[in-house]
Amino acid sequence: MMARNFRAVVTHRLAELYSKLLPIPCFLCGDFSPDDVLCSACADELPWLDTCCQQCAIPLNETGICGQCLQQPPPQQSTVALFRYEAPVNHCIAAFKFHQQLAFTQLFARLLADKIHQRHQPLPEILIPVPLHPSRLRERGYNQSAQLAAALSRRLGVATDKHGLIRQRNTSPQSGLSGKQRKRNLKQAFAVAKALPYKHVALVDDVYTTGHTVAEASRCLQQNGIETVEVWTIARAIRHY
């Protein structure tokens, strides 16, 4: 177990170094991409999310609040997402999340920071990445949400707190579970490790699927004095609606 965890950390560090020092071909088409992990043509073809619900980011015909959020408002006050979670961006996120493709960090951070700036709204006091359980973190070698939050922090000038919110239960992976199973799986999964002196935070995650993960994390933060929680994510899954 220790040897596997050590290999995961070493692999992660080498991937970080590789992504910073060496040019790489476009992840999707293989053409040379001097600045990003995707060439501009492939980036333009991603499933961009435009008009959507302000609270949960589900696509809408016009800006506002969707019917589900009007009937059962989620705990977060707003959600920002870049893409619909479908091909090919789902493959990009899987590579970023599970396969050390860390060059996606800067691309996703730049695009998300641009979208945040376009809102012309006050920035949060702090960015909080959705945490992994320590055993999951040791196995994987890195938390993709923490990677994204750190890159966003540098672009937005907003600090990151990656230790204030912790995952106290080693929950089963959410993929493959039904909506009710996801909700039960995450019950009391999060806790705060210290007093949080913030009133306005942004939770950073990779994918908003059913919303149970960020809802449980948001409730935990609000129970500990946070007044306003935003959710910032790369992609929004829509197949559940």
**What pLDDT, in 10s, does the model give residues 41-89?**
999 999 999 999 999 999 999 989 999 999 999 999 999 999 999 999 9
Q: Is residue 241 part of a domain?
A: no
Q: Is residue 59 part of a domain?
A: yes
Contact, 231 vs 80, CB < 8 A? yes
Q: Which structure tokens are listed for 176?
A: 């493959």
Please state, in angstroms and rounded to a whole number, the distance separating the CA atoms of residues 23 and 37.
Answer: 9
What CATH number corresponds to the domain at position 28? Answer: 3.40.50
Please state, in angstroms and rounded to a whole number, the distance separating the CA atoms of residues 162 and 157.
Answer: 16
Q: Is residue 75 part of a domain?
A: yes
Q: DSSP letters of 20-75? A: HHS-EE-TTT--EESSSSS-HHHHHTS-B--SBBTTT--B-SSSB--HHHHHS--S
Q: Which structure tokens are listed for 142?
A: 């890195």
Q: Is residue 106 part of a domain?
A: yes
Q: How does the average pLDDT of the chain come out, rounded?
A: 87
Give the residue numbers spanning the domain of 107. 2-236
**What pLDDT, in 10s, does the model give residues 180-229?**
665 666 778 899 999 999 999 999 999 999 899 999 999 999 999 999 99
Contact, 128 vs 162, CB < 8 A? yes
Q: Is residue 19 part of a domain?
A: yes
Give mean pLDDT, residues 1-12: 53
Q: Is residue 74 part of a domain?
A: yes
Say what the pTM is.
0.86
The number of folded domains in the chain is 1
Tell me the CB-side half-sphere exposure of residue 89, using CA atoms within 13 A.
Answer: 22
Query: Is the predicted pLDDT of residue 34 greater than 90, yes or no?
Result: no
**What pLDDT, in 10s, does the model give residues 110-122?**
999 999 999 989 9
